[in-house]
Structure 1
Amino acid sequence: MSSIFEPSIFTVPLSFEAHAIAQHYQKQQLLPLKAKQVYLNTLAVYAVDFYLRCLGFEVDANQNDSRNPMIVKMMDVADLWVKQLGRLECRPVLPDAKVCEIPPDAWSDRIGYVAVQMSQTLKEATLLGFTQTAMAKVPLSNLRSLSEFLAYLHQLQEVPLTAPPAKVVNLRRWLEGIFETGWQSTEAILGIDMNLVSIRSMTILKTDIKRAKLIDFGMRLNDQTVVLSLAVSSNIDGTISVLAQLYPSSGNTYLSPNVKLVMLSESGETLQEVYSRGHDNYIQIRPFKGMSGDGFSLQVGFNNVNVTEDFVL
């Protein structure tokens, strides 16, 4: 794959691979306008991904909200996770546009915004420049140059991140009715109330709070998806009890064999591990409880592809 580099812009050919990825995510949308939005967003992310890799930066597409089907369905995001730096927003710009539009969905948790102009034929995408400031419409004439962008990224590299790159899910806030993006009711994700097993090791002050999230293993595993579900309860002694379960996605009766659910400590040590068998309609790890501030991770794995969610009590 070739590219054209100029001092102020960078043009990326949008190959068959780029359009195949865009079509993959477009097909998940039912509404035509949303499908078009997702298609252009995906091409913009591809172009910035290509540019950064050419410059030697490492990216991790698995951290992208723009690769999460549930988030994409509800929000207009075109983010790209850059290792050691943070989350960039890659906004597509139409050929005759005078401004780069940034939706409110992308106004936070971003280190910057890159304007990516599409050619009329969608055969090329040109990085025009960037801005650090989120606003509804940024005039293209006000964008900072790519040479400034490169200097800005190197400057960020010199400042260590003070927080882990992964989003940490705060389960204590669930008890207050506050939920992170992507975590929905079990009914919304699975279609029916699965009536998760209640945790009864301690007297419960509040009814179990149950939330579920779709875990997508991506194109490498033929769109294989599963549902991670958690039930959370508060106890008289101030601890929080947790039950984690894994279900097949809506429309499937059983999990594929050898899907794993692993509980990890904050240091990465395996605390619990369970695998699905041939006819499991769900799997779960043993219920556990912890004190406020305790952290842990849940890892869902299949065919050497792992997706990890981090939690704090």
Structure 2
Amino acid sequence: MNSTSNYLTFTVPLTLSAHELAQQFYHLQSDSNQAKQIYFNTLAVYAVNFYLNCLGIETDLEASDSWNPFLQALANNADLLVKNVGKLECRPVLPEEQVCKVPEEVMSDRIGYVAVRLDSDLTEAQLLGFATSTAQSEIPIQNLRSLEDLLDVVSPLSLEIILNNVVLLRQWLHDSFDLGWEKVSQVLNPIPAELGWSYRRIETGVKRGKLIHLGRQETAEQIALLVGLRPTQLPELNITVEVYPTGYATHLPRDLQLMVLDEEGETVMQAIAKSTKNIQLEFSGEEGESFGVKLSLDNYSIIENFTI
């Protein structure tokens, strides 16, 4: 490792095996400019992969777009898949360049961008720093964060939060609501059109909502969890569990999972968003029965427990 007055860098030797890999991808392209870019991208990904492996971070080169000859031809990708975390973009920086160039096609679906300076002889690659996100095509080198902070981004943290308070649903029918459970109009504004039908169906019951945050603090996804109950044929109650995007988002995160758990914590119902506008699960229960609602995204999950 090398240190400067401001931040830490890391130099990786570009071995013969690194160049052999780059040459394999290079010779598969007919366009010489594209082939050259892929060569540089491969060396940059190789260097970042070497660094992360030194830190004990698991990666999957074979599952990365940058290691797929077909996808290489479609987009200027230099991604490295970090297991259980996401894609880290590894952008090559040439010796004379003072900015890290980021193609438009990789400005999303990335957990970060690492700038990798290649020396003029292509014998060494120096990891200069990183950025967690960018909306610009160029990141000035002096604006990069230190590699010391990169570990916080690529560490495969798995966090499950089980909220201690048990929500007593039957009390909702008597206008007694648990803290944090608000009117739907306060959680979702404006109310989505697709929610109108379920509103009409629950005229004789009640529905409340709560904002849930899933993920790391700086990149957490905010979604709305709605729970409704309606008396049907005593002693049963009809229960609906729904999730919606909030703010300016029009669709839920693609990998968001909604699960209903039984009293033993086992999953009995499940749905995955897959970029839909909302998901809903419906079931019935009797007074005194308990169940849980689990929301999961990537390595983060939250469980709310309920008693009817």
TM-score when normalising by structure 1: 0.48
TM-score when normalising by structure 2: 0.49
Structure of greater Rg: 2
Higher strand share: 2
